[in-house]
Structure 1
């Protein structure tokens, strides 16, 4: 089982969109996957079309992690129904039922989003995920901060994937987050590795985006994952309908789905990099070129 945190210091860069895109690719690939919606806004839960009944949300599981019984409290994504229908229409023969479960997010998790969590609190998510052995992949959608919830996720994770737009403030935030990961590894999680950086919402015709992508390549090298994810005009519509991008009609969605397939494959085989971003060049203002 691989546990991957999806993180960003800056809000609004499409972190949850990348999380759900990767979840969609995992579902299409038949990889049993759990999405942990650790962001108090719970946007990933909404996009994944979950319908909780009596299950505990992730915040209440974190409150009593050793009694949480994860398997009893996860909720199947509404996407699974679409995937099962597509599989049944694709031909005859035995097919394994797809698995995409969600540890549902809630505002309750906000009580842990503090900068002063001790080591015991940082292990809460690890204790909850001790019951996640049936999954091959766990994606943790983190809030856009470096407070307690993100550090709790990093403690429980094998890898951290960062999401950034190719813009000045986002790239600068990514550099700071990479440094924070290095410090966190030294003190709390020596086995944690940066899985890479996803460049999201890329506009191919933008000179600024081209400049920043080249800068990111220079700064982060092989940690800048490919393919980059272009700005998707209908992404809000897809998420609003609580659909997987792999089961949304149209060439645009089909192309986006293929990009997430490739990104997931690259993500699953990366990790363990010892790239020292402390020696990387500073993010430049355009006037410094």
Structure 2
């Protein structure tokens, strides 16, 4: 999950997709690559006693990589699914310089290769910038889901993100592709939101995904309680859960097409 603009709900989408994967029984690894480390909190992980992504970036040896993996507290609510976390850290900002070396860009890919056979799905919550952390995350990815909100500034940030993905694809990782643009925090009654959604569709066509995600307080409530939205009561939360199920289907279809190549 990526956005070159903060505050669009990138971490919220990561947690929603993790909830969908968890409810489906998939073995899922979430990588907290945002120095704010909010996804670690949302997955009910206490980072004390674990290594972190900062340690992994310092040296992606197997012992360090495994020491940075924590089981999500979500497992207390449901059996069958596996949600693990590569623990985030504010210290990862030290690895977010503007000019990463080729060696640095491939460190997360090297780390994930150690764990590849153990998970069905890996979700990376990226930093909201285009410095080393995001480039490193993209180099380790097959697809990038760009999260946007229906605003003027987010439209411009989405355009920058797609251009940057193409730059990384051409120069670093030929397998990288945009999965699509997910419009978050929509208000159907807002003329401005509807205008911006039409603008995004005109600019980016079929890359704009359905469904768009409406603003729902229940989603923030579930994540504030560090619980999966699929297990939060109420019609609004179940509506959001169904939306994330649909988006997860798109993710899995795209991953299947990627593995067939």
Unaligned ranges ≥5, structure 2: none
Report the counterpart of residue 29 of structure 1 in structure 2: 24
Task: Report the counterpart of residue 239 of structure 1 in structure 2.
Answer: 223
> Structure 1 residue 212 and structure 2 residue 207: aligned?
no
What does residue 60 of structure 2 align with? 65
Larger radius of gyration: 1
After superposition, the C-alpha distances for 1:92-132 in whole angstroms (9 at most, x for unaligned) are: xxxxx320000110011111111111100001101111122
Q: Which of 2, 10, 19 is 1:15 aligned to?
A: 10
Alpha carbons 1:225, 1:266 under 8 Å: kept: no
Provide, for residues 240-285 of structure 1, a one-character-per-residue CA deviation record: whole Å limited to 9, x for no partner. Answer: 2101101111111111101100111012223789xxxxxxxxxxxx
User: CA–CA distance in 1 between the matches of 2:48 and 2:9?
Assistant: 28
Aligned counterpart for 1:142 among listed residues 122, 126, 138: 126
In structure 2, C-alpha distance between the alignment counterparts of 1:269 and 1:221, rounded to whole Å? 19
1:101 match? 84
Contact 1:226–1:266 under 8 Å retained in 2: no
1:40 maps to: 35
Which consecutive residues of structure 1, in runs of 5 or more, have no partner in the other structure? 1-5, 85-96, 274-289
The CA deviation at 1:236 is 2.6
Q: TM-score, normalised by structure 1?
A: 0.85
- In the alignment, is the contact (CA less than 8 A) between 1:34 and 1:103 conserved in 2? yes
Counterparts of residues 267-286 of structure 1 (less than 5 Å): 267-270=251-254
Check the 8 A contact 2:60/2:107 in 1, yes or no: yes
Whole-angstrom CA distance in 2 between matches of 1:225 and 1:29: 21
Q: Which residue of 1 aligns with 2:247?
A: 263
**Which of 137, 143, 147 lines up with 1:163 in the alignment?**
147
Give the number of aligned pairs: 256
CA-to-partner distance for each residue in 1:6-25, whole Å, 9 max, x for gaps? 10000000000000000000
- Whole-Å separation in 2 of the counterparts to 1:155 and 1:210: 34
Compute the RMSD of aligned alpha carbons.
1.5
TM-score when normalising by structure 2: 0.94
Write the deviation string for residues 141-195 of structure 1: whole angstroms up to 9, x where unpaired.
Answer: 0010000000000111111110000111001110111011111111111110111
Aligned mate of 2:213, from 223, 226, 229: 229
Distance 1:214 1:103 in 2: 37
1:66: Cα distance to partner?
Answer: 2.4
Greater helix content: 2
Match of 2:102 in 1: 119
State the secondary structure of the residue aligned to 1:10: coil
SS in 1 for 2:186: coil
